[in-house]
Amino acid sequence: MYRAPLRDMRFVLHELLGDERLSTYFSAVDYSGELADSILDEAAKFGENVLEPINKSGDHEGAKWTAEGVVVPQGFKAAYASYIESGWSQLSVPQAQGGQGMPQLVNSAVEEIMFASNMAFYLGTSLARGAVEAISESGSEEAQARFVPQLVSGEWMGTMNLTEPQAGSDLALLKTRAVPDGEQYRLFGTKIFITYGDHDMTDNIVHLVLARIDGAPAGTRGISMFLVPKFLINADGSQGARNDVRCVSIEHKLGLHASPTCVMSFGEKEGAIGYLLGAPNSGLAHMFIMMNAARLSVGVQGLAQSERALQQALDWARNRLQGKPPGDLTQGPVAIINHPDVKRMLLSMKARVEAMRALSYTAALALDTAHRDQDEGVRAAALSRAEMLIPIVKGWCTETAVQVTSTGIQVHGGMGFIEETGASQFLRDVRVASIYEGTTAIQSNDLIGRKLGRDRGAAMASLIKDLLADLDGLRANDLDTKAVKNAAVEALITLRDSTEALLRLQADAPLRALAVSVPYLELCGLIISAALLAKGAGVAAQALQAGSEETAFYKGKLRTARFYVDQVLPAAYGLARIVKSGAASVTDTDVALI
């Protein structure tokens, strides 16, 4: 049974990151730490009481394709009605667009709860926010008025239609056509892997579709973005005729069975009517508005499923009686949590979960700063940092989630391989997170090619400098905090050296830099998170010295951070060695030898 980790979430928001600045940034909505806590309380109630009870049943039942449309599992429609009635679809949408205008930091925390409660359900709802942002920034006034209010309210849902059977991640190969027809276009083509491309939870679905206007340049330079509704909207705002778009099948997947992943056909008859968003041939730039929000959310999915797996593994280990460690004189078997290796696995899961939470929330706060600070220089620096962190969050958190959820199965032993315990669902559901919205290699290539390349590592150098300054100011009066601080400082220096080495490699031999881009991304995730955990350990140590009554909580923070630097962080030095000297073994190998 999932329970939202509210205490640790509040620790990151208020004590580690210090969200006081948001009170200034979001004064129009009277933001405060108390308001954030209240929102998280309500999100926890909704997740635990509405979404979690239909998570396992939804996985077993799955979404079903019919000729009339896709049918979601039992309970999903009622849960969605409760979702929009409670106003969750409006949470982080700006007030000017009819939303509540909450910070991205709060939205990410709420997303963690929702994704942990029921990832398959929340996938569909989370796409609407990106659609609102994309239409608001690139759509005409008419398109905004006609489509945004219903997306904000949750009356309609949105999708992203990018890839095609022959294209995969290479969007330059897109073939979907857009034929001008007066002020609108008619689209013809097939899209695959469309999350919630069709369903019966809302009366209408707003598809954002990448296509080529006839005569457009080849490659990504000729891609435009179109708004294609499932049902057309009449001039008076009422629902009109069915558009020429339909789901022809849904994929049979490893996990996320309740989330329909659709093959969408546009223009089987006269052509699907679509409305151009933004300028012709600039669709990819407009779609990235939606994709960047989605990539941060996918990183949070990794965190969420890891937290879920941790909770179940802990419950199992505390109640499963089996054997006893050497030297234990108690009669009969003991709970397996007392066995050293089970304890190690649980600490490994817990440390990584806390690291992912600190990293994800840090990126979210950087986005809030980038959009809201009054100082233009501060905004620009925060945006560079946020954009650099997002591929790390997306790539490292999802790859780490595969480790954590797999370890959760291991804690269960043989019972973890049995579907009835539920441990395998978390691994099955999260496995795709390191693939969709850009594989880990796509994230790492973006990190070194666009984010490091555009400023020659200035944003990364600034982040490392700030983290070292934070640790320099950390009062370490106990052995655990000293050990964590020293290990994090040493690791940050390693990251600084590795970044400089990678930049040199990128300048001299770009292919070799790409050959070590994923190890570099993993290195960033491991080390930046270590610095954040070390900072958190300092906060915990100060709270204990001040006589806090939450002794167990703060001692737990110290022990988790110590475990991380002792048993997780050392992997960073192997990755650093790969970054500095491991590229040639890839680039110099003939593919015939693989």
The predicted-structure confidence for 391-410, as pLDDT tens digits, reads as follows: 999 999 999 999 999 999 99
Q: Locate the DSSP E strands across 43-195.
A: 64-66, 69-71, 157-161, 177-181, 184-195
User: CATH no. for residue 102?
Assistant: 1.10.540.10
Question: In terms of domains, do 167 and 92 share one?
Answer: no
Per-chain mean pLDDT for the chain: 95
Q: Closest Cα to residue 293, out of 435, 153, 430, 107?
A: 107
Global model pTM greater than 0.95: yes
Question: Is 493 a member of any domain?
Answer: yes
Question: In terms of domains, do 53 and 107 share one?
Answer: yes
268 has a pLDDT exceeding 90: yes
Question: In terms of domains, do 18 and 113 share one?
Answer: yes
| 331 CB-contact burial (10 Å; exposed 0-12 / middle 13-18 / buried 19+) | exposed
Where among 282, 309, 331 does a domain terminate?
282
Instruction: Name the more confident of 330 and 570.
Output: 570
pLDDT tier, 347 (very low <50, low <70, confident <90, very high otherwise): very high
Question: In terms of domains, do 543 and 498 share one?
Answer: yes
Question: In terms of domains, do 118 and 223 share one?
Answer: no
What residues contact residue 256 under an 8 Å CB cut-off, 6+ apart?
A: 119, 120, 123, 428, 429, 432
Q: What percent of the chain has pLDDT over 70?
A: 100
Question: In terms of domains, do 87 and 205 share one?
Answer: no
287 has a pLDDT exceeding 90: no
Question: In terms of domains, do 199 and 126 share one?
Answer: no
The predicted-structure confidence for 417-433, as pLDDT tens digits, reads as follows: 999 999 999 999 999 99
Question: Is 72 a member of any domain?
Answer: yes
Question: In terms of domains, do 146 and 170 share one?
Answer: no
The predicted-structure confidence for 493-538, as pLDDT tens digits, reads as follows: 999 999 999 999 999 999 999 999 999 999 999 999 999 999 999 9
DSSP state, residue 216? P
Q: How are beta strands 224-229 and 157-161 bridged, if at all? A: unpaired
The secondary element (H helix, E strand) that includes residue 22 is helix 21-25
CA distances from 131 to 202, 458, 544 (A): 15, 32, 45
Question: Is 473 a member of any domain?
Answer: yes
What local confidence, expressed as pLDDT, does residue 331 receive?
80
What residues contact residue 294 under an 8 Å CB cut-off, 6+ apart?
A: 126, 127, 130, 160, 437
pLDDT tier, 349 (very low <50, low <70, confident <90, very high otherwise): very high
Count up the domains in the chain and report the number. 3
| 435 CB-contact burial (10 Å; exposed 0-12 / middle 13-18 / buried 19+) | middle
> How many separate helices (H) and strands (E) can be counted in the chain?
21, 12
Q: What is the mean pLDDT of residues 120-137?
A: 89
CA distances from 211 to 118, 142, 189, 200, 574 (A): 32, 21, 8, 26, 43
Give the number of residues written for the chain.
594
Question: Is 580 a member of any domain?
Answer: yes
Helices 458-472 and 376-412, axial angle in degrees (round to 10): 80
Q: How are beta strands 157-161 and 205-213 bridged, if at all? A: parallel
Instruction: Name the more confident of 342 and 292.
Output: 342
Count Cβ atoms below 10 Å from residue 165 Cβ, excluding itself: 12
Where among 102, 117, 152 does a domain terminate?
152
Beta bridge mates, 184: 181
Q: Closest Cα to residue 563, out of 280, 317, 347, 414?
A: 347
Where among 259, 282, 305 does a domain terminate?
282
What residues contact residue 236 under an 8 Å CB cut-off, 6+ apart?
A: none
Question: Is 400 a member of any domain?
Answer: no
User: CATH no. for residue 165?
Assistant: 2.40.110.20
DSSP state, residue 321? B
| Catalytic residue status for 437 | yes
Question: Is 450 a member of any domain?
Answer: no
What local confidence, expressed as pLDDT, does residue 12 receive?
98
Q: What is the mean pLDDT of residues 117-146?
A: 91
Question: In terms of domains, do 20 and 140 share one?
Answer: yes
DSSP letters spanning 527-571: HHHHHHHHHHHHHHHHHHHTT-S-HHHHHHHHHHHHHIIIIITTH
Beta bridge mates, 53: none
What local confidence, expressed as pLDDT, does residue 286 receive?
79
Instruction: Name the more confident of 284 and 243.
Output: 243
Question: Is 483 a member of any domain?
Answer: yes
| Residue 418 to residue 429: CA distance in whole angstroms | 16
What local confidence, expressed as pLDDT, does residue 570 receive?
98
What local confidence, expressed as pLDDT, does residue 248 receive?
98
Q: What percent of the chain has pLDDT over 90?
A: 91
Tell me which of 307, 387, 437, 522 is the catalytic residue: 437
587 has a pLDDT exceeding 90: yes
Question: Is 416 a member of any domain?
Answer: no
What local confidence, expressed as pLDDT, does residue 479 receive?
86
**For the chain, the helix, strand and coil percentages under 3-state DSSP, each to the nearest 5:** 65, 10, 25
571 has a pLDDT exceeding 80: yes
| Residue range of the domain that includes 190 | 156-282
Yes or no: say if 426 and 312 are a contact pair by the CB < 8 Å rule. yes
Q: Locate the DSSP E strands across 162-253.
A: 177-181, 184-195, 205-213, 224-229, 231-233, 239-242, 245-250
293 has a pLDDT exceeding 80: no
What local confidence, expressed as pLDDT, does residue 543 receive?
96
Buried b (16+ CB within 10 A) or exposed e, 338-360: bbeebeebbbbbbbbbbbbbbbb
The stretches of 320-457 forming alpha helices (DSSP H) are 340-372, 376-412, 423-430, 440-446, 453-455
Half-sphere exposure of 581 (CA within 13 A, CB side): 3
pLDDT tier, 288 (very low <50, low <70, confident <90, very high otherwise): confident
The secondary element (H helix, E strand) that includes residue 68 is none
Q: Closest Cα to residue 587, out of 525, 524, 508?
A: 508
Question: In terms of domains, do 31 and 47 share one?
Answer: yes
| Residue 300 to residue 109: CA distance in whole angstroms | 8
Question: In terms of domains, do 69 and 188 share one?
Answer: no
454 has a pLDDT exceeding 90: yes
| Residue 7 to residue 191: CA distance in whole angstroms | 42
Question: In terms of domains, do 31 and 88 share one?
Answer: yes
Q: What is the mean pLDDT of residues 373-390?
A: 96
Q: What is the mean pLDDT of residues 540-553?
A: 96
| Residue 329 to residue 331: CA distance in whole angstroms | 7
pLDDT tier, 285 (very low <50, low <70, confident <90, very high otherwise): confident
